[in-house]
């Protein structure tokens, strides 16, 4: 069974600082997704990483994928308050011939002005 672990689970950081969220997974996969969820809202797709070495950037967020290490990172550069949200990674795996997506438990990010 695929396990997806995120750390840290909670992150409080000051505006302007840099930080990285880590996502480890337990079985082979070459598709990884990052989602954002604002409090009381739904999940919104941020990045889709489809191959080893993939790197995607959007504003102050940059995601990368290392399939050999089974690790993805979400790097936050010069954080701003608007980035406060919960971030989820999700990994595809093959289950009985069908793709199945497993979500991590989420990292709650609080950016303090």
Partner 1 sequence: DAGVIQSPRHEVTEMGQEVTLRCKPISGHNSLFWYRQTMMRGLELLIYFNNNVPIDDSGMPEDRFSAKMPNASFSTLKIQPSEPRDSAVYFCASSPRGTGWYEQYFGPGTRLTVT
Note the residues at the interface with partner 1 (CB under 8 A): 31, 33, 35, 41-45, 48, 88, 90, 92, 95-96, 98-103, 105-106
Between 105 and 112, CB nearer to partner 1:
105
In whole angstroms, the minimum distance from the beta carbon of 72 to partner 1 comes to 15
Of the candidates 28, 29, 1, 15, the one whose C-alpha atom is nearest the C-alpha of residue 109 is 15
In whole angstroms, the minimum distance from the beta carbon of 31 to partner 1 comes to 6
In whole angstroms, the minimum distance from the beta carbon of 29 to partner 1 comes to 11
Edge-to-edge strand order for the sheet containing 71-76? Answer: 4-7, 19-25, 71-76, 61-66, 55-58
DSSP element (H, E) containing 37: strand 32-37
Between 56 and 60, CB nearer to partner 1:
56
Question: Which residue reads 């600082």 in tokens?
Answer: 17
Sign of the four-CA dihedral 65, 71, 72, 73: negative
In whole angstroms, the minimum distance from the beta carbon of 37 to partner 1 comes to 9
CA dist 67 and 48 (Å) reads 14
Between 33 and 111, CB nearer to partner 1:
33
Between 79 and 90, CB nearer to partner 1:
90
């Amino acid at each position: 069974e695929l396990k997806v672990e995120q750390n840290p689970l909670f992150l409080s950081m000051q505006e302007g600082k840099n930080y990285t969220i880590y996502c480890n997974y337990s079985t082979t996969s070459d598709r990884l997704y990052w989602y954002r969820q604002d409090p009381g809202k739904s999940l919104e797709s941020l990045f889709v990483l489809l191959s080893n070495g993939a790197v995607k950037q959007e504003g102050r967020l940059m995601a990368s994928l290392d399939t050999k290490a089974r690790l993805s990172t979400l790097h936050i550069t010069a954080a701003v308050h608007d980035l406060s949200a919960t971030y989820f990674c999700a990994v595809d795996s093959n289950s009985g011939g069908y793709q199945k997506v497993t979500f991590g438990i989420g990292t709650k990010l609080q950016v303090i002005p």
